[in-house]
Structure 1
């Protein structure tokens, strides 16, 4: 569902450099893994997990981990092999999430068993989950895209504030369960830095962007 309003969280990429290894006269090139757009959101009673990754060598894999608390013990849910060198979308569905808080992260593993972790994402399975997974492009001209995940269908309010504190109301937006992209028309804004505020009840989510 796409809703156009009148008025991705930045698209962050994490790059992991894995040192080259030398054995006898054989040199293994260093491996570069790139992972971005890591998302997790409720969908039909499950939790849908997605990310985009690329690498110069196909010698790594991903392990999906989950915990009931941010600093608790994480269990491995699945292992997903690296399939292609170019940007590829990966996904996994947790069909048996906890009834309350679910913390997800991805562990990247190279052929030499070196590991790196992504950020941790909280998914609430009580119908209250709401997150702005991505806001892109970070420098926009006419359209800003909001990637929003929600545990239920609801109305949210969107305001935009410039660096002088002036507020511009962009009305209400109906979000649906799951992860959906919502385009935001920012043609009327002057060039400069802004803060986008997404509000639902007492919850406020803010993200920065630049109008070019």
Structure 2
């Protein structure tokens, strides 16, 4: 049968030959089942009339025009493939598809009501525009949405049902151009509560309080300088907030980043009702980001993404940037006793024009002398690790101070640590702080004070107490970050008081 015929089917449709649909409409006006020896049933427009029923074949329907369901549709575990060469409109009538494939070589497919895909949504070609409606993906496996790209994604809203232990791709966009493609991933460790999330992405005009000048959050001790909200803000709304944790990946393609931003961008989060950039938070300390130069921190020729793990609630997300103002960004400076020697080790996140390090030593924390020099990495944006050994220890306390020297002779002094190998044993309490000087966040490294409360007392140079905080040390090797943005730049004396020992450390806020 050939030609652009409009046909009304009051019973079953059986195709054992060849049907050329042209541009005609087949209207199902009874209780109908599609069957036949062909494995791909070709239609242009399909209409199911009100109160009428159509049961699909268990193989494939190729649709070149519109789908209008005013009645009842039984998917029969089959596949509907949208193969139009012009815009196609889909009205599901709230009856689910089993497999739905978008392979439209024109501008794409328009969703005129909510549509559910019970198993696999395959985005091969063309943009799936939902308007204010939702494409609902019910399958809980990683293969629920496949084949997506910047040539085929969802412009509008995805409702994704989720389980535990699966990373779900969310191929979402803010428009119909390939440059509007702004993929996200959900890394689910959610054990309860949330059964689905609604996902969309948009961009804003930075104005009023939605401006970078209002940013107050930090990452790795550095102030965030820019949120890319004018490029993308992802909104994720759950049916209820989750039990357990999850991670998010936001892909950098079509975002204002390049390779020069490697290791200096991260995900930030704020309440969905916020209209103020001061509400963007990195949540550094309660969440984690990958290590420098790992996936999740690099641009990777536009194929990379930002990643953050450990979230416990959903809201709005974007990508923020910062610029390191430190020539050497120090991760840690630590010391331990081993076989009557002191082992000193330190790590850097990044180095700029770094010629060498100096380790200075003192017996009284007043008079220091140069103990040794270690070559720096010059320019580096990867983690570098260094270690030296001191076999000639003073009796009692040995103080070590780390300095960094640029190629032009500029010096920067970091924190001082103390080691006493005369009384060192497995139960000796040790506390180190870094970076020192610091900007907004001071990190503590604590050994052998597990299950103890530690009070942190900050005193100014006159001895006046300016701030108190308390922490509970949960592990034998314990690290934590203390947000100190309320302190003014100055020199402080940090007193750490536990029921085992009192520590006094001089720190500088820049």
For normalisation by structure 2, the TM-score amounts to 0.24
Matched, 1:34 2:329: yes
**Structure 1 residue 60, shift from structure 2 partner:** 2.2
Deviation per CA, 1:104-140: give whole Å up to 9, x if none: 01110000011111121122232155322369xxxxx
**Structure 1 residue 85, shift from structure 2 partner:** 3.0
* Structure 1 match to 2:453: 159
Deviation per CA, 1:25-56: give whole Å up to 9, x if none: xxxxx983211311122222111212121335
| Structure number, greater radius of gyration | 2
Structure 1, unaligned runs of 5 or more: 1-10, 15-29, 136-144, 162-166, 184-195, 207-212
Distance 2:430 2:326 in 1: 32
- What SS class does the counterpart of residue 422 from structure 2 fall into? coil
Is residue 50–residue 92 contact of structure 1 (8 Å, CA) maintained in 2? Answer: yes
Root-mean-square deviation (CA, aligned residues, Å) is 4.2
The aligned runs of 1:109-124 (5 Å cut-off) are 109-124=405-420
Distance 1:13 1:49 in 2: 23
Matched, 1:199 2:493: no
Structure 2, unaligned runs of 5 or more: 1-218, 223-324, 435-442, 456-469, 481-495, 505-510
Distance 1:112 1:102 in 2: 30
Is residue 41–residue 48 contact of structure 1 (8 Å, CA) maintained in 2? Answer: yes
Distance 2:407 2:392 in 1: 30
Distance 1:90 1:132 in 2: 20
Distance 2:404 2:473 in 1: 41
Higher relative contact order (CA 8 A, sep 6+): 1
For normalisation by structure 1, the TM-score amounts to 0.51
- What SS class does the counterpart of residue 116 from structure 1 fall into? strand
Distance 1:171 1:110 in 2: 37
Is residue 39–residue 51 contact of structure 1 (8 Å, CA) maintained in 2? Answer: yes
* Structure 1 match to 2:446: 148
Given the superposition, is the C-alpha separation of residues 204 and 100 from structure 1 closer, same or farther in structure 2, using an over 3 Å criterion?
closer
The aligned runs of 1:9-158 (5 Å cut-off) are 32-55=327-350, 57=352, 59-82=354-377, 84-127=380-423, 130-133=429-432, 147-149=445-447, 158=452
Is residue 328–residue 354 contact of structure 2 (8 Å, CA) maintained in 1? Answer: no
Question: Does 97-106 or 55-64 show the bigger shift?
Answer: 55-64
